Amino acid sequence: MRVISGDRRGMQLKAVPGQSTRPTTDKVKESIFNMIGPYFDGGMMLDLYGGSGSIGIEAISRGMSHAILVDKDKKAIDTINANVKQARYEDEIDVYRNDSERALKAIVKKEHQFALIFLDPPYKNHRLDKELLFIAENKLLEKNGIIVVEHAFDEPLQEQYEELMCIREERYGDTMISLFEWKEQSE
């Protein structure tokens, strides 16, 4: 696993030890960033299931100005912190150990909005419908922002959550990538 592009291109990243985390492959990660970027001019990103921190580090490497990475697993948090330190992104990335539901509520209290939100929960054990609805209802996505959802192909998502609309889906084996944008409802 490595940083694919940007100012930390080629840097090797540690994976979370054990089988509790399913990392996004470099091929899928590269495809995701080609769909949504591939580079950014600032902005804040959120990864609710941080894993190794690979997606957040990639986003900062490609020009995002700040990232919040959340995971509830201690081994994942330790791995994220090691990778952030190795990348020298301690000032650009905040790391929190929490579950996704509590993290979202804390984010609402802090009144954050994001240019990029990444959701990649454990397959077969997710609350994506509930989380996407919460993100929409609380307007956590900036107007021109995008949500990337990595989920199992056999667990499809709705086309719309309030003003969040699915604009693209791509399949990579058993993995589906769904992209959502904020779309104002016409009256």
Cα 187 to Cα 57: distance, rounded to the nearest angstrom: 40
Residue pLDDT, tens place only, 133-183: 999 999 999 999 999 999 999 988 999 999 999 999 999 988 899 999 998
Give me the mean pLDDT over the 38-43 stretch.
95
Which pLDDT does position 122 carry in this prediction? Answer: 83
Q: Six-digit token pair at 121?
A: 């929960």
For CA atoms 25, 141, 40, 70, give the dihedral sign: negative
Cα 172 to Cα 175: distance, rounded to the nearest angstrom: 5
Which has the higher per-residue pLDDT, 187 or 83? 83
Cα 128 to Cα 48: distance, rounded to the nearest angstrom: 11
Measure CA 63 to chain center. Answer: 15
Contact 122, 129 (CB under 8 A): no
pLDDT at position 23 over 90: no
| Structural domains for the chain | 26-34+42-153+160-182 (3.40.50.150)
